[in-house]
Structure 1
Amino acid sequence: MPISIGLPIVTSCSVDSCGYNHGGCHAGAISVGGPHSHCNTFVDTADKGGRDETASVGACTRTDCKFNDSLICSAEGITVGASADNADCLTFEAKETAGATA
């Protein structure tokens, strides 16, 4: 069985309505994207499934996130919860842009 070496894990998920969330996220891997860092793997169901292991973050299309490195998340881990939608990456931080002032 393949192992996701070096990928960040979903350290916590507060979205109880997701079928992969039961004592933590148990999807094999999630992807994050969309205009507000949506967990694209979110499944709104009372049925619970997935793997025994905690999910990794397999892909992220939020190129404006400081943790995005060639469409892969470089954070140590992420938190998923309600924000603009049911299931969003709450670890998202916008990249600093050139010429930005503090």
Structure 2
Amino acid sequence: MATTIHLPIVSTCSVESCGFNHDGCRAGAINVSGDHAACSTFVDSDTKAGNADVAGVGACTRTDCTFNKDMACTAEAIEVGASFDTADCLTFEAR
């Protein structure tokens, strides 16, 4: 029996150097953490990996974000792109 898990989706990722980004994020789920809401699933690689149709946000340790509730993202979707680090959650919004 399949289990349905509802996670916020990664609607866009503009980080071309990530191995999980080919025609969108193909990781099953990403995590967001660090000082700049970094995508901690980022892998700098020319080899493309992952086969998920849609990536979700598995966990977020940025408890100072408006969309964080108990280390889970409550945004409907997030965008990932370059900001302070190579790959950051651009949807991050300080409380």
Which TM bucket (shorter chain)?
Answer: over 0.9
Residue of structure 1 in register with 2:60 after alignment: 60
The answer for the alignment partner of 2:38 in structure 1 is 38
The aligned amino acid for 2:78 is I
Using the size of structure 2 for normalisation, the TM-score is 0.95
Identity level (%): 62
For 1:79, the equivalent position in structure 2 comes to 79
Which 5+ residue runs of structure 1 have no aligned equivalent? 96-102
Alignment CA distance shift 1:55-1:4 (3 Å): farther
Query: What is the CA distance between 1:5 and its match in structure 2?
Result: 2.2
Aligned residues: 95
Which residue of structure 1 lines up, in the alignment, with residue 17 of structure 2?
A: 17
Measured after TM superposition, the shift of residue 52 of structure 1 is 3.3
Give the structure 2 partner of residue 5 of structure 1. 5
Give unmatched runs, 5+ long, in structure 2: none
